[in-house]
Every structure is written in C-alpha cells, then in structure tokens.
A and B are shown apart, each in its own frame.
Chain A
C-alpha cells in the first residue's frame, strides 16, 4: 500500500485546520499514520482510495470529514480543441488512450512534487506497476497537436527524458534506466506503442518514458496528460489527476480521442449516480439512521445527495472515486461519515452450539500424554528441504506430489518443500540447542503434508549421554497404552535408525509409526554429539481426526 508524504504547511493550509485536529481525525477517515515528523507526516492509504494519494486529495476529503466543506464538488471540463488519432496498429499492443489539458497552473516545487508522487503511486496501484495503466505529463506549449497514438518498430528514435541524445526504442529498452526497469511489460513484442505529434516526433513512449522535448519545468503553466492502458483504469487515473490539478486552480480542457470506429471525449468528470435503498443501509449497518444523518454522512464523504425519499437515497459519486463498485461501498462510507466511533456495538443474537474439531482434540490428548512423560513441547516451521527431510535422515527421497509438496520460487534453500515428517525437524531443534543442559526431551504434535493432504503426527526425541532404545521404547509403550491401542512391533528397515535398534509400530496390521536409536551418521549430519532416541506416529492412521476442507 502506498505511503503518502504530506507536508504540514501545505496540508494545514489546504484543509484549514491545525495539525492536532488532523492527527486526531485522519485515522477515522481510513488510513494508517506511519510517521509524524516536524515538517511532514507519512500516511499509508488503502489501495481502494487512489484519490487520496496526493495532498490535494487528502485535503478535499478532510474538508468534508471535518465539516468545513460538505458535499459534492463539481468539476468543469471546458471543450478543448485537442485531438489524438488512434492508429489501428496500436490496438493489439496497448489499445486504450485518454488525455486532458490543464491550463493556468503555477508549477511550484510543491505541485511538481505532489504530481510526481501521485503519478508514481497511481502507476504502482491502479497501473499494477505500469502494466495496466501508465501516465505521461507534458508541457502543453511544447506539444504540437494533433497527436497520433500508433505502433512503431524498434528502430524508431527520439531523445528520451533525462538524456541528451537520440536513442532508438531498442536502445532505450536496453540502456535507459526506465527502459530497463519496465522492458518486461513489452517483452516479446516487435512493435511498440508511441505517441507522436503533428511532426511525427515522439512525445511519449508508453509505458516506458516521455520525450525530453515536452519536459515540464517551473515555467510551465499548461499541461497535457496522456494515460494509456487497457481498460477503464485509464479513465480512473485520468480523473484523479485532472481533479487534483483542478483543485490546484487549473482549468481542465477536454481532448478528443479518435479511434478508427469511434470518438471519445476525455476526461469525463461528470458524477455517476446510484440509488441506494434505505432498507439496504439499515440492513448492512444493523441500525437505522435518520434521513438527515444519512445526508450529512454522505456529504462529509464528499458525495452529493440529490434526494432522499421514503425508499431510497440518490447519490452523486465524484469522478475521482475509483472504488465504488457496489452500493455497499457507499454504505461503508456512510458508516465512516457517521463515525465508526459513534456506532454502538451489539452482540448478535445468532444462536449456535460450539463444537471442537477432532483434529485439535486429539492434539490436546497427545500433548497431555507427552507432557505427563516430561517432554517439552516445541513448534517448528513446516517449510523445510529435501536435504534435511530425507538426505540427512538417510531416507530415500519420495516422489514429489505423491510424497512431498515442492514450492515454486522458494526464497531460500532451506525452504523448498512442506515437511512430510516431524522427526527431522526435532533433530534440527536439538542441533540448535546443544548448549542447553541435558537431558533434553522434546515433542511436537502437528501437521505434515503428504500427497498434498494434511496428516497429524506426533514425534518426540530424547537426548543425553545415555539415551537409548530402551528409554524410547518405554515412552512409546506408555503412549500406546494411553491411546488404548492394540499394537505390536516389527523390525524396521528405516535407515534413520541403527539396525537392530529400530522398530515399526503396527496397528491393525498397518505400520503407523517408527521408533529407535538414531543412526550415528544421521547424528553427524545434524552435528549432534549425544545419542538420540526418538519416535514418530501418524495419528491420522489410528484416530478419526475429522473432516478437513
């Protein structure tokens, strides 16, 4: 989620209240304040509110929330004489473009900073790292209209931003820092999107970089903004930019986007309308609000209220609100505008009987027995590696999927699979705790994943200078007795243990576990110097552990 830096002097001036009030009320609007400094504060806004990624947007929202300026703010779009022709060649690569002109701006450092930050945050969120949507901001006076949005090949050349020489598309993708950073978006393409002016000179190579010649400077007063991408996210981003600049005193002019078959005029800053039944508001919130409370709450959140009748409320949705998909989105804003802190919590009457899951009941029983035997419970990661699970244990690696589950793109060599056995994890624990006094007796009762399904296992280890088969056999005997099971043992083949000192646990003719003295080679692999005896039992084999989803 983007963290937006808001400078106190700007924010206080634009909102019209002091910082104490802002600090107190801002979190109730929906954000996390990350840091408060003398000259600024860093605030994390939620990904559904990209309109709050600039100080202008935050000020607009806060003025409503603090009852300074209520309701819908109208944004005018003057009809402009600016045209973008969309060439059919680009439709398969990056089909959508929208634009606007904003005139009469004072390009202070403050505004440039805010605009650039907003642009980057929009790229990251709505734009999904420029894949779905990318923005270009230009000095209008350096752009020769009409423009054409088309596809070019890799030899097409221009001077990209921050460079002083002509570069081809191919060079930019290899050498320009932005080219290298975003080349992945155009990977595999042999034609590239390009916005060229009336002289066939590039002004922007979306989603990578603008041309140097339309650079915005402090003397810029009028802007042209292009937004390219694939879907309605293009319009959402453009509306957020246009309204933010309008809030800074700019005059927005429209741009005509002429597709082969259709013409659009952008931006569209007219409000969307939604009719929300009052019963739905009451149903979702669980309490009734009076008409004037609904109206005030909506206006605090900068919605317009056209009318409230007996049935419903008619709401105007500002053009910068990219998140309103459903009437519930507005009802949430009614709750925020009303104030979460004013809502009276009530415990619901929903009646049901609590029941435990057998899986965890059996875990509790196993735990009780092991603790009674003096063992200390440990918890370990379930992520591990084939090396520790099988190689260190002198056990054969099972087949992936039938046996263990390998993860894609593991972060470390230690975490490549999900464990199928707990015993190796316990040996790992012992190896990390050699410096602690002996004897060490530990157990874990938890999940392993075999064949993509969870199974419940109980494993335990004991280590000290005289740990041996007899000791662990006593423990296994005690456990099986407490589990009230008829069981027998059979010589085991498990290579993790010393031959002749290892046994399989058999219940109803089926192997359900194994115990014995750990093989010295295994001890060496785990860098252990004291003998270890241990066991592992599959509890899903011997108990009904209940249904898993």
Chain B
C-alpha cells in the first residue's frame, strides 16, 4: 500500500520530562516584538523578553556622509575664517590676462604652452588702461623699477580664455578690485592643467590660496602666517626653504615634519612682485601662499593615488571613517 501511495507513513516521538526541582524564576510567556498593544495594556509586565544573541552582526547599512576630501577643505576653510580671512570664489573660465599676464608671467613662458594649459578658442576684451600698464611692465618694467621681460607684449594672447591653471587668477583679480589695505582673502577651488592622468597627476584638482594685503608687512610676516596656518593644520614643525615662483619675490617653499615621512614640502609662498601689484594699483605688499589640497589628502588620508578622490569608489568612501585616528 505504501508503494502504491495509498497510505502515508508517519512517525511520532513523544518525550516526557519530569521536573525534579522547581526553578528559581517564575516561568512567563516571552515577547518577541514589543508592540504598542503590549505597552498600552501594560501586559508586557507579566511577560518575559526573548533574549537575542547580541554578538551576531546585523545587516549592513550605509552611512550618508561628507566626502573625506570635502572634510579636509572644510577644515582649511575653518582655519582661514578663524584667522580672519574672507572667502572668495571665481569662474573656472578666465582670460589669460588674469591667469598669466597680470601675474607677470612672460608670454613665452613654458607654463603658457598649449602643452600645459587648456586653452579655449574664445577671446574677451581686457580693460584698456589695465592692459596698457601691464604691457609696459612686461616690456620695460614701466614705473615698477624693473627691467621687464623685454620683447613685445601681445594683447591678443592676454585676451584668450583658459581653464584657470591656479586660483591666483582669482585672488589677483580680487585684489585689483580691492586695492586698499588691509585685505585678507582666501580661495579654495578647482584648477586645471593639461596633464595625463596618473596616480599623482590629474587634469583638474583643488587648490588653496591665501593672501594678505597690508602696508607694513614683510617676509617675516609671511613666514608667521605660514607657521600659524600649518600649526592649525596640526603640523607642529614647519621650516622654510628658498623657492621660486614667477610672480613672487622673495619666494619660499614651506616644509612640515610628518612622522614616518620626514620633512615634506607643502605648497609655495611669497610676496607678490612690484611688477604684479603696481600695474593693478594694489597699494602695499601682498603676502600669498598656496598648496594643492591633494597633497594634504595624501598626508591626512595616507593616499598614494589621487585619482580616488575624483573617481569615486563607493567601497572606499563607505569604508573611510568620519573620525580618523
């Protein structure tokens, strides 16, 4: 009958347990889920809560959070604001005039090559009086006390648009609009270089820059600003080496001491040349410094590959803790 499936087989087992000793706690009904009914009625009092194994991990949920890089930028902004700096912001597209010429970059400077800069096939007008002063300064120094670069300065080159190669295009234009001291301003924003992507080179990245315009300030004040800024960033030991930038004199390369790495170069700084400030009518001396935020990220997040910052890997972002020891 079994084979013909006319009957089913069923086995039953019965176990009898005899309680030999009365338990010390009273036996109660257990609660799995605590419900509003149980709370309102108060019946939970007569019941026992089912105990969970708290060691078992739950399903993973993902935190919504700030990008670690933005957190570094936020920290830098905070430091600038604490130090009394005004935040400024500018367009990515800028005339060569503000990106190069106003900063006394000679028109045949290698940094201005098509090789290194993203040029745009568009030209804009430059205020004539400014252009004239910058032209004279480039050609023969004008009234700045400089010899100038010699040669001919071509306004057409200054009129061509570029994707700005540094935030200094913005700070210098801001100073030209606010030429009376005192001014303290900063800018943290995207800049572009015509570079192929590799772990330490990107065609666009973020830069930080601070400027102080005042009458009676000098090189020692610039070093004081740098030391304060880096101390606030958590770099206790700062030292200074000579540097070179076409638009500053003197120029300096600050270095900070990082445990395990030694002295690390961190950005550049200097006092804007007369050839930069005078044609723009900026009164006093401009102390300026800047650095790539990527460099900070490398030190802070221990990153070796900057691409990760702009080509998001959700695994990395999800696993990058908000608090870092």
Residues of A within 8 A of B (CB): 27-30, 32, 46-49, 128, 131-132, 230-232, 282-287, 325-329, 331-332, 335-336, 340-341, 343-348, 350-357, 359-360, 364, 367, 370-383, 401, 405-412, 415, 418, 429, 432-433, 436-437, 439-442, 447, 449, 452-454, 546-549
- Cβ of B24 within 8 Å of any chain A Cβ, yes or no, is no
CB atoms of A28 and B204 under 8 A apart: no
Task: Give the chain A neighbours of B216 by CB distance below 8 A.
Answer: 283
Contact indicator per residue, chain B 120-134, by CB within 8 Å of chain A (1) or not (0): 111000000000000
Stretch at the interface among B37-45, B49-57, B138-146: B138-146
- Cβ of B3 within 8 Å of any chain A Cβ, yes or no, is no
Measured CB to CB, the closest approach of chain B to A484, in angstroms, equals 21
Task: Give the chain B neighbours of A378 by CB distance below 8 A.
Answer: 67, 312, 317
Contact indicator per residue, chain B 225-242, by CB within 8 Å of chain A (1) or not (0): 111100000000001111
Q: In chain B, what residue has the closest Cβ to A327?
A: B145
Q: In chain A, what residue has the closest Cβ to B253?
A: A32
CB atoms of A286 and B147 under 8 A apart: no
Task: Give the chain A neighbours of B70 by CB distance below 8 A.
Answer: 367, 377, 379
**Which one of A32, A230, A348 has the greatest number of beta carbons of chain B within 10 Å?**
A348
CB atoms of B244 and A47 under 8 A apart: yes
CB atoms of A373 and B92 under 8 A apart: no
CB under 8 Å from chain A, chain B span 145-203: 145-148, 150-151, 161, 163, 170, 173-174, 177, 181-184, 190, 192, 194-196, 202-203
With A332-B251, A354-B81, A354-B86 in contact, is A326–B64 under 8 Å at CB? no
Task: Give the chain A neighbours of B60 by CB distance below 8 A.
Answer: 437
Task: Give the chain A neighbours of B249 by CB distance below 8 A.
Answer: 326, 328-329, 331-332
Task: Give the chain A neighbours of B145 by CB distance below 8 A.
Answer: 326-327
Task: Give the chain A neighbours of B82 by CB distance below 8 A.
Answer: 354
Partner of B114, one of A131, A353, A408: A408
Measured CB to CB, the closest approach of chain B to A191, in angstroms, equals 22
| Interface pairs A-B: 8 shortest CB-CB | A286-B218, A46-B244, A30-B242, A345-B223, A332-B250, A549-B90, A348-B221, A354-B81
- Cβ of B80 within 8 Å of any chain A Cβ, yes or no, is yes
With A335-B219, A376-B318, A407-B163 in contact, is A326–B87 under 8 Å at CB? no
Interface contacts (Cβ under 8 Å), in number, total 274
- Cβ of B23 within 8 Å of any chain A Cβ, yes or no, is no
CB atoms of B91 and A454 under 8 A apart: yes
Task: Give the chain B neighbours of A374 by CB distance below 8 A.
Answer: 62-64
Task: Give the chain B neighbours of A350 by CB distance below 8 A.
Answer: 84, 181-182, 184, 212, 214, 217, 221
Bound together, the chains give a CA A373 to CA B275 distance in angstroms of 51
Q: In chain B, what residue has the closest Cβ to A340?
A: B240
CB atoms of A287 and B273 under 8 A apart: no
CB atoms of B89 and A546 under 8 A apart: yes
- Cβ of B243 within 8 Å of any chain A Cβ, yes or no, is yes
Task: Give the chain A neighbours of B194 by CB distance below 8 A.
Answer: 409, 411
Task: Give the chain B neighbours of A346 by CB distance below 8 A.
Answer: 220-221, 223-224
Measured CB to CB, the closest approach of chain B to A533, in angstroms, equals 16
CB atoms of B287 and A348 under 8 A apart: yes
CB atoms of B223 and A380 under 8 A apart: no
Bound together, the chains give a CA A409 to CA B115 distance in angstroms of 9
Partner of B224, one of A335, A336, A347, A441: A347
Bound together, the chains give a CA A32 to CA B243 distance in angstroms of 9
| 6 pairs of residues in contact across A and B, judged by CB atoms under 8 Å | A326-B141, A328-B250, A344-B220, A367-B70, A379-B312, A433-B312
Partner of A284, one of B190, B271, B311: B271
CB atoms of B87 and A376 under 8 A apart: no
CB atoms of B312 and A335 under 8 A apart: no
Measured CB to CB, the closest approach of chain B to A22, in angstroms, equals 15
Partner of A383, one of B69, B174, B204: B204
Measured CB to CB, the closest approach of chain A to B236, in angstroms, equals 14
Task: Give the chain B neighbours of A411 by CB distance below 8 A.
Answer: 194-196, 203
Assuming A348-B287, A407-B119, A408-B120, what are 8 further A-B pairs, CB within 8 angstroms? A284-B271, A286-B219, A351-B182, A375-B64, A409-B119, A411-B194, A433-B314, A447-B190
Partner of A549, one of B83, B89, B221, B251: B89
Bound together, the chains give a CA A359 to CA B190 distance in angstroms of 14
CB atoms of A449 and B92 under 8 A apart: yes
Partner of A408, one of B85, B119, B243, B309: B119
Bound together, the chains give a CA A232 to CA B91 distance in angstroms of 38
- Cβ of B256 within 8 Å of any chain A Cβ, yes or no, is no
CB under 8 Å from chain A, chain B span 86-133: 86-93, 108, 110, 114, 118-122
CB atoms of B118 and A407 under 8 A apart: yes
Task: Give the chain B neighbours of A372 by CB distance below 8 A.
Answer: 64
- Cβ of B274 within 8 Å of any chain A Cβ, yes or no, is yes
Task: Give the chain A neighbours of B219 by CB distance below 8 A.
Answer: 284-286, 335, 343
With A344-B220, A345-B220, A371-B66 in contact, is A408–B118 under 8 Å at CB? yes
Measured CB to CB, the closest approach of chain A to B68, in angstroms, equals 9
The dominant DSSP class at the B interface is mixed
Residues of B within 8 A of A (CB): 60, 62-67, 69-70, 74, 77, 80-93, 108, 110, 114, 118-122, 141, 144-148, 150-151, 161, 163, 170, 173-174, 177, 181-184, 190, 192, 194-196, 202-204, 212, 214, 216-221, 223-228, 239-244, 249-252, 265, 271, 273-275, 285, 287, 309-315, 317-318
**Which one of A372, A375, A452 has the greatest number of beta carbons of chain B within 10 Å?**
A452
With A348-B212, A351-B84, A449-B92 in contact, is A325–B147 under 8 Å at CB? yes
Bound together, the chains give a CA A343 to CA B227 distance in angstroms of 12
Measured CB to CB, the closest approach of chain B to A369, in angstroms, equals 10
**Which one of B147, B151, B249 has the greatest number of beta carbons of chain A within 10 Å?**
B249
Task: Give the chain B neighbours of A354 by CB distance below 8 A.
Answer: 80-87, 184
Q: In chain B, what residue has the closest Cβ to A456?
A: B89
CB atoms of B310 and A381 under 8 A apart: yes
Q: In chain B, what residue has the closest Cβ to A435?
A: B315
Partner of B87, one of A284, A348, A356: A356
Task: Give the chain B neighbours of A360 by CB distance below 8 A.
Answer: 77, 87, 89
CB atoms of A336 and B212 under 8 A apart: no
CB atoms of B88 and A357 under 8 A apart: yes
Partner of A340, one of B120, B121, B241, B311: B241
Bound together, the chains give a CA A282 to CA B219 distance in angstroms of 10
Bound together, the chains give a CA A344 to CA B313 distance in angstroms of 45
CB atoms of B93 and A352 under 8 A apart: no
With A287-B220, A347-B225, A418-B92 in contact, is A407–B86 under 8 Å at CB? no
With A345-B224, A352-B183 in contact, is A549–B174 under 8 Å at CB? yes
Bound together, the chains give a CA A539 to CA B295 distance in angstroms of 30
Partner of A380, one of B81, B311, B315: B311
Task: Give the chain A neighbours of B220 by CB distance below 8 A.
Answer: 285-287, 343-346
CB atoms of A328 and B274 under 8 A apart: yes
With A232-B150, A350-B217 in contact, is A377–B287 under 8 Å at CB? no
With A345-B227, A408-B121 in contact, is A432–B174 under 8 Å at CB? no
Task: Give the chain B neighbours of A381 by CB distance below 8 A.
Answer: 202-204, 310-311
Partner of A359, one of B89, B203, B225, B250: B89
Measured CB to CB, the closest approach of chain B to A525, in angstroms, equals 19
Partner of A287, one of B110, B212, B218, B244: B218
CB atoms of B86 and A352 under 8 A apart: yes
Task: Give the chain A neighbours of B315 by CB distance below 8 A.
Answer: 433, 436
Bound together, the chains give a CA A44 to CA B271 distance in angstroms of 22
Measured CB to CB, the closest approach of chain B to A322, in angstroms, equals 11
Bound together, the chains give a CA A331 to CA B271 distance in angstroms of 12
CB atoms of B87 and A328 under 8 A apart: no
Bound together, the chains give a CA A376 to CA B312 distance in angstroms of 11
Bound together, the chains give a CA A118 to CA B147 distance in angstroms of 25
Bound together, the chains give a CA A131 to CA B109 distance in angstroms of 12
